[in-house]
Amino acid sequence: NAGVTQTPKFQVLKTGQSMTLQCAQDMNHEYMSWYRQDPGMGLRLIHYSVGAGITDQGEVPNGYNVSRSTTEDFPLRLLSAAPSQTSVYFCASSPADGQGKNEQFFGPGTRLTVL
Residues forming the site for another protein (CB under 8 A): 31, 33, 35, 40-45, 48, 50, 58, 88, 90, 92, 94, 96, 98-106, 108-109, 111
Nearest residue (CB) to another protein, 57 versus 80: 57
Nearest residue (CB) to another protein, 77 versus 111: 111
Nearest residue (CB) to another protein, 17 versus 102: 102
Nearest approach, Cβ of residue 16 and another protein (Å): 27
Beta strands 87-94 and 4-7, pairing class: unpaired
Nearest residue (CB) to another protein, 7 versus 15: 7
Nearest approach, Cβ of residue 105 and another protein (Å): 6
Query: What value, to the nearest 5°, has the Cα angle with vertex 7 and ends 36 and 83?
Result: 45
Collapsing DSSP to helix, strand or coil, 83 comes out as helix
Nearest approach, Cβ of residue 102 and another protein (Å): 7
- Residues 6+ positions from 31 with CB-CB distance below 8 Å: 48, 49, 50, 51, 93, 94, 95, 96, 102, 104
Residues 50, 91: Cα–Cα separation, whole Å: 14
